[in-house]
A and B are shown apart, each in its own frame.
Chain A
């Protein structure tokens, strides 16, 4: 098994504004969002980060995709350090998360071409790739409609397509099926399996057990910013369903803390 991505002791602390302190109902000035998370993803597998709301999944993925810097630790992505050479990492990965938006004013077609150009994709390659992806996700009919006028699901599909204009070998998707209807969600999971079949390495975060059971070869369970378990999905499940196993682990951890 070829190691493609390795997260080493990631730690991230956020300073809370007074507004956030109220929302989180805490007097603490700091929030440790991720605390010592390590894991490895291997070539051609789908790795899942499973955890409840606020566990630190998105924060971990944002550190991997170089949007934010870890306070401690580093991520080695296909030989490049996310901390020391972030631009190298950015060229190698495709990152999808709900907070990355596309400009409402433009059309899917324009945005696709814009990001292709920034990734230095050859125009011929770009056109054939765009045709295939747009058709697959039904964007072709809306290619010239302003993004502002697209449905939420269509926008999300477009974001997904735009995140992989450069055909990256490492794909990082944060809750890729969130907010999608069952048909579209199915199209996305099928697509992830296709990408895996092409030999790409995929990291997804989710709180949906069935998704992990269905597509993830290995899974890391994050609770309260810490990686509680990490291993092959079947090994972690044992003789239980993933949901039952998760609640067992959750009780152990949160019970420990209190």
Chain B
């Protein structure tokens, strides 16, 4: 009877959606939290290790060179002033009144105009690498002086014509970052989404004695199992989507990239369709596993503590996407559940998937879910499991 499965699903979903607490904690908060945390981390990382864009470096110079002063007019982020002696400059640097001290040799301008061979004049720069602004000022000034140097004795230029030299496209950047990060994150999201519903729905009903009421009705045990697994999967999917959206919108910030550098629209409809198929089959596997653990447990708490080690295993499997040369291509790897999902996602994000491997994964996942479903139904009919005290 399809009717019973629907009735059970409707009740499970009503239990979830009519409870604002559950909806907020499993659907809304994960996405929001991930967005907030990642954006915050991203912002934090970039502000901690760099000065604001409009910052102007305070540079002191002993014997400032007029040539360099002229040259510095081309950039707007260096303000060079004169100090009378090395000692005064060091003192100002130490008291953080300046970011950089440049000591030019006397008659530097004259020396460079007649320089041909022999000992080149030496410019010294003093800075404090513990100060971000000072370290940046040093790097920038070094670049400026190097550029100046090559401008006065130009033999050849590198990449100096304003053309686009970096051939990495948006697609490449996106695929590299996504295929590394997302499979692991997705697995964890799907898993934690399921963890917030399945133990409550199965171990909770057992703990509270409400499943026994269901078991004295003529409903088949397999119908109860299917109804529960489908509704838990649906909620896990929504929860996973929430976390996914939170990640997608904050990942560029986290990775310190401009939003244009990474764009989820690099993937086509078929990529997303495959991804969705892999995700759905993965959810079925995860939900079945957690449901079986929950059915064994006597309480929700016990279910949660038993599931936790599994969560760690899933994270470890997820991390495999970050190492090695991308997804393996031999089909045999795709017979291992969970691992196959991670590798499929990696391959899809890297635009390098093989249809055979994805189909293998889908078949493996669906068959495993069906077997686990039968096990769950058997467990529902076992008095030892359902009424153990």
Contacts and interface: CB of A to CB of B under 8 A. Distances in A.
Contacts of B4: 117-118
A105 B15 contact: yes
A162 B214 CA distance: 11
Given A69-B383, A118-B4, A95 B209 contact: no
B212 interface: yes
A119 B218 contact: yes
A90 B218 contact: yes
B122 to A, nearest CB: 80
Interface string A18-32: 001000000000000
B171 interface: no
What interface size band does chain A fall in? Answer: 20 to 34
Given A117-B7, A118-B4, A90 B212 contact: no
Contacts of B218: 87-88, 90-91, 118-119
Interface string A91-115: 1000100011111111000100011
A17 B389 CA distance: 8
Interface string B193-219: 000000000000100111011111111
B15 A103 contact: yes
A103 B208 contact: yes
Contact of A114 (B11, B220, B389): B11
Interface string B21-43: 00000000000000000000000
Contacts of B18: 105
B101 to A, nearest CB: 71
A199 interface: no
B220 A117 contact: no
Interface residues of B, number: 26
Interface in A43-87: 65-69, 87
A99 B209 contact: yes
Contacts of A159: 213
A102 B210 contact: yes
Given A99-B209, A114-B7, A67 B215 contact: yes
Contacts of A110: 14
A36 interface: no
B208 A101 contact: yes
Contacts of B1: 120
A102 B216 CA distance: 13
B208 A118 contact: no
Residue among A20, A100, A104 with most chain B CB within 10 A: A100
Contacts of A91: 218
A188 B208 CA distance: 25
B19 A105 contact: yes
Contacts of B219: 118
B71 interface: no
A119 B217 contact: yes
A252 to B, nearest CB: 33
Contacts of A104: 208
Contact of A100 (B3, B7, B19, B213): B213
Contacts of B49: none
Contacts of B387: 67-68
Interface string B209-233: 1101111111110000000000000
Given A101-B208, A110-B14, A117-B3, A65 B213 contact: no
Interface of A: 17, 20, 65-69, 87-88, 90-91, 95, 99-106, 110, 114-115, 117-120, 159, 162
23 contacts: A66-B216, A67-B383, A68-B383, A69-B383, A90-B216, A95-B216, A99-B209, A100-B209, A101-B208, A101-B210, A102-B213, A103-B15, A105-B19, A106-B11, A114-B11, A117-B7, A118-B8, A118-B217, A118-B219, A119-B217, A120-B3, A159-B213, A162-B213
6 shortest interchain CB distances as A-B pairs: A101-B209, A91-B218, A100-B213, A90-B218, A68-B383, A117-B7
